[in-house]
Amino acid sequence: MNTLLQDIYEEVKPMLGTGKVADYIPALASVNPHQFGIAVCDTKGEITSIGDAKVPFSIQSISKVFNLVLAINYYGEEMWERVGCEPSGLPFNSLVQLEYENGIPRNPFINAGALVVSDMVQSRFASPYIAMRDFVRRLSCNKNIVVNKVVAESEYEHRAKNAAMAYLMKSYGNFENEVEDVLRNYFHNCALEMNCEDLARATSFLANSGMSSCANGKILSPLQTKQVNALLATSGMYDEAGSFAFKVGLPGKSGVGGGIVAVVPRRFSICVFSPALNSVGNSQLGVAALTSLSERINWSIY
> Does 278 sit near ligand GLN (CB under 6 A)?
no
Catalytic pick from 186, 254, 274, 294? Answer: 186
- 254 beta partners: 260
Query: Is 275 a binder of ligand GLN (CB under 6 A)?
Result: no
Let me know: does 83 contact 118? Beta carbons within 8 Å: no
State which residue, 224 or 234, has the beta carbon closest to ligand GLN: 234
Residues 80-109 that bind ligand GLN (CB under 6 A): 92-93
Active-site residue, selected from the candidate residues 179, 238, 261, 292: 238
End-to-end CA distance of the chain: 22
CB of 280 vs ligand GLN, minimal distance in Å: 10
* 156 forms part of the interface with ligand GLN (CB under 6 A): no
Q: Which of 122, 162, 185, 195 binds ligand GLN (CB under 6 A)?
A: 162
Query: Shortest approach of ligand GLN to residue 31 CB, angstroms?
Result: 13
Assess 119 for contact with ligand GLN (CB under 6 A). Answer: no
Answer yes or no: 256 catalytic.
yes
Identity of the residue, 256 or 271, whose beta carbon is nearer to ligand GLN in the bound complex: 256
Q: DSSP letter string over 19-33?
A: SB---SSHHHHTS-S
For residue 2, give the amino acid letter.
N
Among residues 40, 49, 58, 61, the one annotated as catalytic is 61
Q: 111 or 269, CB closer to ligand GLN?
A: 111
185 binds ligand GLN (CB under 6 A): no
Binding characters for ligand GLN, 43-62, by CB under 6 A (x = yes): -----------------xx-
Nearest-CB residue for ligand GLN: 61
Give catalytic status of residue 20 as yes or no.
no
Work out which of 41, 98, 169, 190 binds ligand GLN, going by CB under 6 A. Answer: 190
CB of 92 to ligand GLN, least distance (A): 4
Which residues are part of the catalytic machinery? 61, 64, 186, 238, 256
Residues of this chain that interact with ligand GLN (CB under 6 A) are 60-61, 92-93, 111, 155, 162, 190, 255-256, 281
